[in-house]
Amino acid sequence: MSRLLIAALALTAVAAPVAYAAGPITVRQPWSRPAQAGMNGVGFLTLANSGKTPVILKSATSPAAGKVEIHQSAMVGGVMTMRRQDNGVVIPAGGQVALAPGGYHLMLLGLKQAQGVGQKVPVTLVFDGGRKIQVELAVQLAPPAAGGAAEHTGHHH
Ligand SMILES: [Cu+2]
């Protein structure tokens, strides 16, 4: 697994979106937002499953936070709320799930240090069956450009 990770990092060393893979699971574009020490941080990424059976993201850990939980944001009675997902997030066979603003996300509870734009936050994703994938959340202000194309400047929708 570590060899795959190194290969992924080497291929994407220049500003391209980062992807991590292990078995049937691919993790793309992990990112986070700036936050102060002691506050809660977020983690967003896209999970793809090329296998023939569903995979479940069960939990996550990070040396940067006291605890990491999987949350889902939802509007309840006009108020944005977050619920802990104790059963994890199911990635369907041949499908993908985005952890993105307004939906699923990783909640990094109690950041040990401030995280600023350009920094990387290490997170280990734990899947059912015990498979783990280590990723680095890129701290940035806005979501990564979709589709993996080179970033365009001065052209926003
Ligand atoms: Cu949350």
pLDDT string in tens for the chain (157-residue length): 455 555 555 444 444 457 999 999 999 999 999 999 999 999 999 999 999 999 999 999 999 999 999 999 998 999 999 999 999 999 999 999 999 999 999 999 999 999 999 999 999 999 998 999 999 999 999 998 865 444 444 444 4
CA–CA gap between residue 89 and residue 128 (Å, rounded): 10
> What's the CA-to-centroid distance between 141 and ligand 1, angstroms?
17
| pTM, two decimal places | 0.81
Enumerate residues 6+ apart whose C-beta is below 8 A from 123. 30, 43, 60, 61, 62, 64, 68, 106, 108, 134, 135, 136, 137
Distance 55 CA to ligand 1 centre (A): 22
Q: How far is the CA of 23 from the centre of ligand 1 (A)?
A: 28
Dist. CA 105–CA 90, nearest whole Å: 13
**How far apart, in whole angstroms, are the C-alpha atoms of residue 110 and residue 4?**
30
Statement: 2-141 belongs to CATH 3.30.70.330:
no
Burial label for 99, CB within 10 Å (0-12, 13-18, 19+), is buried
State in Å: Cα 50 to ligand 1 middle: 27
Residue extents of the structural domains in the chain: 2-141
